[in-house]
Amino acid sequence: MSSDELAKIVGEYSYGTWRPQRDWKSPFFVADAEGVYFYDGEGKRYLDFSSQLMCSNLGHKNKAIVEAISEQAKKLPYVAPGFACETKAKAIRALLGVMPRKLERFFFSTSGTEANEAAIKIVRLYCSPLNKYKIISRYHSYHGSTAASIALTGDPRRWFAEPVSKIPGVIFAPDAYCYRCPFKLEYPDCGIQCAEYVDYMIKNEGNVAAIFVEPVVGTNGIIVPPKEYFPLLRKIADENNVLLIVDEVMSGWLRTGKWFAIEHWGVEPDILTTAKGCTAAYIPLGITVTKSEIAEYFEERFLAHGHTYAAHPLSLAPVPVVIEEYKKLMASGLPERVSEHLKKRLHELKEKHVCIGDVRGLGHFWAVEIVKNRKTREPFNTRADKAALKPLMVSELSKEMLRKGLYLLGWISHFIVAPPLIITEEQVDEGIEIFDEALKTADKEVKEN
């Protein structure tokens, strides 16, 4: 069958995610992938400038990872989560070597969504004797698609899901979004009101169990907080006897230059969730890891959580290999060198294109936010536009770039530039050249006065 015929079957008989199904009639067909590129049915090459869904951190077809999964399939493809096995022990040992020091008890699932779902349940069970159950999230956040995780999500995907999946006790805090400060203040004279307000919320809400945040916001804008933000948030959590949970599903695994983004601020969370890069997306795995104090609580109490595929041997098999691949890559100096080059090239685009309002990020994790007017910071599109299914400028530009051989994910009013960590300077330049050309379309719509 031709690639068009295969794509038609997928479009007609499966649901497309996060979209009206009218947009899923002719999904883009991918036939192959290797390194930082993927290929369509005609053999045309596309540079993967967003690591698919910010998860293919080590690129495509890494032989060591493929072999680890293959060997496990031959030896022990599945065992119920109630059993121990060598693969599970090796994965845990490897993870303990890179996790923040005090995080040492793991629950394994199959996605970031499930990792966050487990964290929510653990928190509420742990805090139930104190009658504390509320969780503070933020408006610019995405924590997953299942009932509890989507309830924690701040972006428009929650709006659609709320009638069927809203859970009690989720409240939203202001974002550490300096470019669009919710208090309309300017850093560094802002007093970090976005964090201070969390203290106000805790004291006035009552029954708050946890603060649940992405250290560097992912899909909703690659928002890097001010340097004082997380130390202050940690202090507020401690003073109010509230847990601090960090969602490193997207920002973990050297995506920002550190094993986990929270390390940039020298802060240790009480619970960390992650997925995506822990297997470099070669196989599904979600990880929820807690401090020992939380684990001790369940020694004599029932942990009411589990899955058939929890701690699946095939999911855990590549973890030690992936960690070693990351170590070798970092030792080579390539990611550190290329991240500086990427930063430089993105800021050059800002100087060149009047449609770019802000460029922000860390490591291989960047956002390019486009605006109609730099002075007023008026966006091309809003969350309401997304919810109303209106055409978006970022979507138009993403389609234009894909036609020219560049995959770059856009979300409402910004692009997520997050290439695999194996990308070279020359490949970055290849992507920037296509991005540069596409931005001219948005430049024409800018109001300069």
pLDDT digits (tens, 9 = 90+) for 111-147: 999 999 999 999 999 999 999 999 999 999 999 999 9
CATH class of the domain whose range is 3-61+333-443: alpha beta
Q: Tens digit of pLDDT for each residue in 88-104?
A: 999 999 999 999 999 99
Of 125, 108, 158, give the one whose Cα is nearest residue 243. Answer: 125
Edge-to-edge strand list for the sheet holding 271-274: 103-109, 286-291, 271-274, 243-247, 208-213, 134-138, 170-173
pLDDT on residue 449: 66
In the predicted structure, residue 388 carries a pLDDT above the cut 80:
yes
In the predicted structure, residue 414 carries a pLDDT above the cut 80:
yes
Distance between CA atoms of 183 and 359, rounded to whole angstroms?
Answer: 21
pLDDT interval class at 163 (50, 70, 90): confident
Q: What is the CATH number of domain 64-328?
A: 3.40.640.10
| Average pLDDT, integer, range 35-54 | 98
Within 350-442, strands assigned E span 356-362, 365-373, 378-379, 406-407, 409-411, 414-417
Q: Tens digit of pLDDT for each residue in 324-344?
A: 999 999 999 999 999 999 999
In the predicted structure, residue 447 carries a pLDDT above the cut 90:
no
In the predicted structure, residue 246 carries a pLDDT above the cut 80:
yes
Chain mean pLDDT for the chain:
97
Of all residues in the chain, what percent carry a pLDDT higher than 90? 98
Distance between CA atoms of 220 and 415, rounded to whole angstroms?
Answer: 10
Q: Phi and psi for 269 in degrees, rounded to 5?
A: -80, 170
Answer positive or negative: Cα dihedral of 162, 167, 171, 174.
negative
Tell me which amino acid residue 445 is.
E
| Average pLDDT, integer, range 150-161 | 94
Of 233, 249, 212, 247, give the one whose Cα is nearest residue 133. Answer: 212
User: What six digits make up the tokens of 119?
Assistant: 């964290």
User: What six digits make up the tokens of 201?
Assistant: 């919320």
pLDDT on residue 134: 98
Write the CA distances from 291 to 99, 105, 107, integer angstroms.
Answer: 11, 7, 12
Of all residues in the chain, what percent carry a pLDDT higher than 70? 100
Q: What is the pTM of this model?
A: 0.96
> What letters, b where the CB count within 10 A reaches 16 and e where it falls short, cover 145-156?
bbebbbbbbbbb
User: What six digits make up the tokens of 78?
Assistant: 């599945």
pLDDT on residue 448: 76
| Average pLDDT, integer, range 230-242 | 98
Of 326, 256, 239, 252, give the one whose Cα is nearest residue 100. Answer: 252
In contact, 86 and 443? CB cutoff 8 Å: no
Q: Tens digit of pLDDT for each residue in 259-313?
A: 999 999 999 999 999 999 999 999 999 999 999 999 999 999 999 999 999 999 9
Residue ranges per structural domain of the chain: 3-61+333-443, 64-328
Q: Tens digit of pLDDT for each residue in 52-73?
A: 999 999 999 999 999 999 999 9
Write the CA distances from 301 to 105, 117, 125, integer angstroms.
Answer: 16, 19, 9
Of 87, 39, 2, 11, give the one whose Cα is nearest residue 285. Answer: 87
